[in-house]
Amino acid sequence: MDNSKPAYGQETQKQEDVLILAIESSCDETAASVVKNGRTVLSNVISSQIDLHTLYGGVVPEIASRKHTERINQVITQALKEADMTLDDMTAIGVTYGPGLVGALLVGVAEAKAIAYAKGLPLVGVHHIEGHVSANYIEHPDLEPPFLCLIVSGGHTHLVVVQDYGKFEILGRSRDDAAGEAFDKVARAIGLGYPGGPKIDRVSKEGNPDAIVFPKGKLEDNPYDFSFSGVKSAVLNYLNGARMKGEEICQADVAASFQKSVVDVLVEHTMLAARNLGMNRIAIAGGVASNSALRGAMEEACRRRKYSFYRPSPIFCTDNAAMIGVAAYYEYMAGTRHGWDLNAVPGLRLGER
């Protein structure tokens, strides 16, 4: 079936407000949200599986899919209830269809298709990373493209120009680990466990960020690209060296020094791009955008240069369905409709439909 052609005929305009029921299940959060006119979040329900996966030291895809199946109906019911609405009030169904864990994505996609089919509603598939960027629109009514956005999540590190809603120019990306992945791996190595990012953030507050100098990943051929495998290896080498010499490791100092190395690179590359491209509106997005050191450093860098700085509240940085509802709204308004053959696309690239 041609995905560009809608496979439904009953698209009716029931009210002036555009109400999107959004579903997100790409990783380990089962989430649903009702978003009005793209910017007003009427409900944002997130059922986290963190406790379950902590037992295994990371997300177990099979368990994630099963839990999504178990919880998704309840989460949607709750999202509608909190918004004081029913499915009959909805204008369209938005759903993350990639990138992410295929089994996890499939639960949300199948659910969205079933609801859209049963209710005769348009189906709008959303790119997860487009969702992360769109989280910035929720609390910043003045923010409109174009702007520069640093996207830092568990699977992605991208520096992009948001040219228009859903339209991106990718300036740089990580050549190896994503920023969040580096946080998670280092957290495991220093004994903090899963989920690593928030734990490093917390422990770093007790540590000295200048205690150990870890390398900053710089790439000669593209100043906007990132590399985090070097700093990760440097932390592992430091830990091994200390163990071999019988020296005690200060967890907080290692965490704070690692965090500083990553944050410095993220801020430097973003500021370089802003200067070279003459952009004065900077946003951050993705799970790592909830990191307090990154938020502080980016805010300060922007303040010094008189740039406007935008960041979602932490609850909208990590995976949620409200951001998917916002992205779905702009896709819906631009005419994006998916057919009944919508499938999960685990490796969906940014800007791809």
Is residue 319 involved in binding Zn ion (CB under 5 A)? Answer: yes
Binding segment (CB under 6 A) for ligand KG4, from list 37-45, 158-166, 178-186, 340-348: 178-186
Is residue 136 involved in binding Zn ion (CB under 5 A)? Answer: no
Q: Rank residues 180 and 207 by Cβ distance to Zn ion and give the closer one.
A: 180
Is residue 290 involved in binding Zn ion (CB under 5 A)? Answer: no
Q: Rank residues 295 and 337 by Cβ distance to ligand KG4 and give the closer one.
A: 295
Sign for the pseudo-dihedral over CA of 313, 27, 52, 81: positive
Q: Rank residues 166 and 196 by Cβ distance to ligand KG4 and give the closer one.
A: 196
Strands 92-98 and 19-24: parallel
> Of these partners, Zn ion, ligand KG4, none, which one is at the site of residue 155 (CB under 5 to 8 Å by kind)?
ligand KG4
Q: Rank residues 158 and 260 by Cβ distance to Zn ion and give the closer one.
A: 158
Q: Minimum CB separation from Zn ion for residue 68, in Å?
A: 15
Is residue 261 involved in binding ligand KG4 (CB under 6 A)? Answer: no
Task: Among 111, 130, 177, 184, indicate the residue that binds ligand KG4 (CB under 6 A).
Answer: 184
Is residue 201 involved in binding ligand KG4 (CB under 6 A)? Answer: yes
Q: Rank residues 122 and 312 by Cβ distance to Zn ion and give the closer one.
A: 312
Binding letters toward ligand KG4, positions 15-54, x by CB under 6 A: ------------x---------------------------
Is residue 155 involved in binding ligand KG4 (CB under 6 A)? Answer: yes
Q: Is 317 buried (19+), middle (13-18) or exposed (0-12) by CB count in 10 A?
A: buried
Is residue 288 involved in binding ligand KG4 (CB under 6 A)? Answer: yes
228, 179 in Cβ contact below 8 A? yes
Q: Rank residues 26 and 336 by Cβ distance to ligand KG4 and give the closer one.
A: 26
Binding segment (CB under 6 A) for ligand KG4, from list 86-94, 237-245, 288-296, 342-350: 288-296
Q: Rank residues 28 and 111 by Cβ distance to Zn ion and give the closer one.
A: 28
Is residue 196 involved in binding ligand KG4 (CB under 6 A)? Answer: yes
Binding segment (CB under 6 A) for ligand KG4, from list 1-9, 90-98, 111-119, 189-197: 189-197
Is residue 261 involved in binding Zn ion (CB under 5 A)? Answer: no
262, 228 in Cβ contact below 8 A? yes
Task: Among 106, 319, 321, 328, indicate the residue that binds ligand KG4 (CB under 6 A).
Answer: 319
Cβ partners under 8 Å of residue 54, min gap 6 = 193, 194, 195
> Of these partners, ligand KG4, Zn ion, none, which one is at the site of residue 291 (CB under 5 to 8 Å by kind)?
ligand KG4
d(CA 217, CA 176): 11
Is residue 195 involved in binding ligand KG4 (CB under 6 A)? Answer: yes
- Contact positions toward ligand KG4, by CB under 6 A? 27, 153-155, 180, 183-184, 195-198, 201, 286-288, 290-291, 318-319
- Contact positions toward Zn ion, by CB under 5 A? 153, 319
